[in-house]
Amino acid sequence: MKTRIAMLAAAGALSILASPLAANAQVSVNINVPGLVMTAPPPPRYEPLPPPRGGFVWVPGRWIWDGRAYAWRAGGWQPERPGYVYAPGRWIEDRGGWRWTEGDWRREARREARREREWEEDRRHDRYERDHRHGHDRGDFCPPGQAKKGNC
């Protein structure tokens, strides 16, 4: 009987040692989104604007990401495109990181059309205000009792 109890105790001890005491698991996920930089770019450097150059547009310098750190790329001249305006590139926040959008050329006519549309809306608004005035600024309005007193 004593042998049997000793065998059961030994089997119990072995089963306890064979089972894992605690499971330690850690999962780390790092998703690399192309073009997305997790470190914010430094503020732009001051570059003195060179004197104008006929037929060219100055493109300001910018910070570029080389995969490990930011490096400054100086500005330069780009040939002018008739009828277009250059819109410089910029760093924008995106999905918890930063993404560079390249500068591009935009049609100048679109800007002129927008200005013309805004001007027309202002004229329409002024015309509406003139025709639908309320209160004492209307030429045909006289407050009650004021006409009898000769104030209107």
Q: What is the pLDDT of residues 129-147, one digit of tens each?
A: 655 555 555 556 777 877 7
Residue 81 is part of which domain span? Answer: 56-107
Q: How far apart are CA 99 and CA 120, in angstroms?
A: 37
| Token duo for residue 45 | 């450097």
Count of structural domains within the chain: 1
Q: Is residue 64 part of a domain?
A: yes
Q: Is residue 97 part of a domain?
A: yes
Q: Which residue in the block uniquely carries the two structure tokens 């001007």? A: 119
Q: Is residue 69 part of a domain?
A: yes
Q: Is residue 103 part of a domain?
A: yes
Q: Is residue 24 part of a domain?
A: no
Q: Is residue 50 part of a domain?
A: no
What was the pLDDT predicted at 150? 78
Instruction: Provide the strand spans (E) within the chain.
Output: 56-59, 62-65, 70-73, 76-79, 84-87, 90-94, 97-101, 104-107
Q: Is residue 8 part of a domain?
A: no
Q: Which residue in the block uniquely carries the two structure tokens 């004229």? A: 123
What was the pLDDT predicted at 32? 57
What was the pLDDT predicted at 130? 58
Residue 82 is given by DSSP the state: T
Residue pair 75/58 in contact (Cβ under 8 Å)? The answer is yes
Q: Is residue 9 part of a domain?
A: no
What was the pLDDT predicted at 99? 93
